[in-house]
């Protein structure tokens, strides 16, 4: 039931993983819309809900390497099934629980586990194993575009559900849709044991030790930390920031987040395509640097719906375009036998950054009444990541006899 005798086709893997990523990333991208209604209904400050999302992101990262190991060893299908059920439980928990610390802890564990088992880390391994080497970067770009489409698609859907049904009923409906779509899609992600995958015959400990001792891998880890800080801070706090600055029409925030998802489709696809032609480290450096430029221009320009939309489009193009490039470097340097695990390790750094970005946004707002310091940190980190990715070495590792590729 859980495994297949033959390697699945790249087309079926991309379609099935596209469904999973569309829902996993799309639902999560709209969590900022629930900040104000949940906080008002329960009498919380923004810091409580921000902490809950911060813990979700941290647990997503913490579960990521484990989910990756499980996907590499037991198959992607099993992991996605576990993730779908955990994600559903997390959405229902957020709808029911009103005690602050229980809300933070429960939603953090369930949503974090759900995302770890259904997002990039869990499905990157099967994509890398199925795609031919010459099309691998392109395939990662397609999967990134699918998650971006989910962000574009789900923004107006989630806002409509909240406004028309209420925030609790919106959670109920999304939980049902998520399970009913992800479970059938997971059956298309069955694969044989990964002994067919290229890469060294290493144990998990050997593969992990090799990566953590590699300078380029650590630079990717540092860059992904910055990625997480920037995108989650903006994704969660932008609607509240706009309202604080006088743009009270919620449609502006909805359209802005939808534009991030829309332009993310093009950015992820093109990054994957260009990553097969241009050194990926240069593209990564440019993406991080341009994010800082976009934030500076947004903060300096007079705030209006037009400036918000332009900022959203620019950030969207740069949003998840780091994913196919980073995964492409990991696969090219280390092989794909332990691809999901190594992607999960790098993504853990991303989620530590996400934790700090979303939590600091709420904490410093409660302390200072504005987001000025967090915007400044996001700008400085973008410059740092742009420089850190330049010396990344993309050449495959040359190993000794014990670690020769299978």
The domain limits of the chain are 9-191, 203-395
Question: What's the confidence (pLDDT) of residue 193?
Answer: 62
How many residues comprise the chain?
A: 406
Dist CA 249 CA 194 (whole Å): 51
For residue 260 the two structure tokens come to: 């991030």
Contact assessment for residue 37 and residue 167, using Cβ atoms and an 8 Å cutoff: yes
Report the distance separating Cα 162 and Cα 97, nearest Å: 17
User: In the prediction, which pLDDT does 404 show?
Assistant: 40
Q: Name the β-bridge partners of 405.
A: 200
Consecutive 10-residue averages of pLDDT for the chain (406 residues): 69 92 88 88 85 86 88 89 96 94 94 91 83 84 80 84 94 96 93 58 84 93 93 87 86 86 88 89 96 96 94 92 89 84 87 86 86 94 95 83 40
The span from the CA of 280 to the CA of 221, in Å, is 15
Question: Fold match between 9-191 and 203-395?
Answer: yes
pTM of the model: 0.76
Q: How many CB atoms lie within 10 A of CB 141?
A: 28
Determine the pLDDT at residue 226.
95
Cα 120 to Cα 147: distance, rounded to the nearest angstrom: 9
Decide yes or no: CATH 3.30.70.270 for domain 203-395: no
Which two three-digit tokens encode residue 48?
A: 């409580």
- Which two three-digit tokens encode residue 75? 């198959």
Q: Which CATH topology does 9-191 take? A: Growth Hormone; Chain: A; (1.20.1250)
| 227, 347 Cβ separation under 8 angstroms | no
């Amino acid at each position: 039931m859980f495994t297949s005798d033959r390697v699945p086709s790249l087309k079926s893997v991309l379609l099935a993983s596209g469904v999973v990523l569309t829902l996993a990333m799309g639902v999560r991208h709209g969590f900022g819309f629930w900040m104000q209604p949940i906080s008002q209904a329960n009498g919380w400050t923004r810091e409580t809900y921000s902490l809950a999302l911060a813990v979700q992101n941290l647990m997503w990262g913490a579960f990521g390497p484990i989910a990756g190991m499980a996907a590499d060893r037991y198959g992607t299908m099993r992991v996605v099934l576990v993730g779908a059920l955990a994600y559903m439980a997390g959405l229902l928990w957020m709808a029911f629980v009103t005690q602050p610390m229980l809300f933070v802890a429960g939603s953090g564990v369930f949503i974090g586990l759900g995302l770890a088992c259904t997002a990039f880390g869990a499905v990157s391994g099967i994509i890398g194993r199925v795609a031919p080497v010459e099309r691998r970067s392109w395939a990662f770009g397609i999967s990134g575009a699918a998650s971006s489409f989910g962000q574009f698609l789900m923004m107006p859907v989630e806002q409509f559900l909240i406004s028309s049904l209420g925030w609790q009923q919106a959670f109920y409906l999304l939980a049902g849709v998520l399970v009913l779509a992800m479970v059938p899609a997971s059956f298309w992600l069955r694969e044989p044991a990964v002994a067919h995958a290229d890469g060294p015959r290493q144990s998990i400990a050997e593969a992990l030790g090799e990566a953590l001792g590699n300078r380029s891998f650590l630079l990717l880890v540092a860059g992904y930390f910055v990625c997480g800080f920037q995108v989650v801070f903006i994704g969660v706090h932008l609607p509240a920031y706009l309202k604080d600055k006088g743009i009270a029409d919620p449609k502006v925030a909805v359209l802005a987040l939808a534009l991030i998802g829309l332009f993310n489709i093009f950015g992820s696809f093109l990054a994957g395509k260009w990553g097969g032609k241009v050194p990926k480290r240069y593209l990564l450096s440019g993406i991080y640097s341009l994010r800082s430029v976009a934030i500076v221009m947004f903060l300096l320009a007079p705030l209006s719906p037009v400036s918000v939309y332009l900022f959203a489009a620019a950030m969207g193009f740069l949003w998840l375009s780091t994913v196919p490039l980073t995964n492409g470097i990991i696969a090219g340097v280390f092989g794909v036998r332990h691809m999901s695990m190594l992607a999960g390790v790098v993504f853990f750094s991303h989620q530590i950054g996400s934790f700090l970005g979303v939590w600091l946004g709420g904490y410093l707002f409660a302390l200072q009444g504005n987001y000025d310091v967090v915007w400044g940190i996001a700008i400085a980190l973008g410059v740092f990541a742009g420089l850190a990715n330049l010396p990344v070495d993309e050449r495959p590792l040359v190993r000794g006899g014990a670690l020769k590729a299978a």
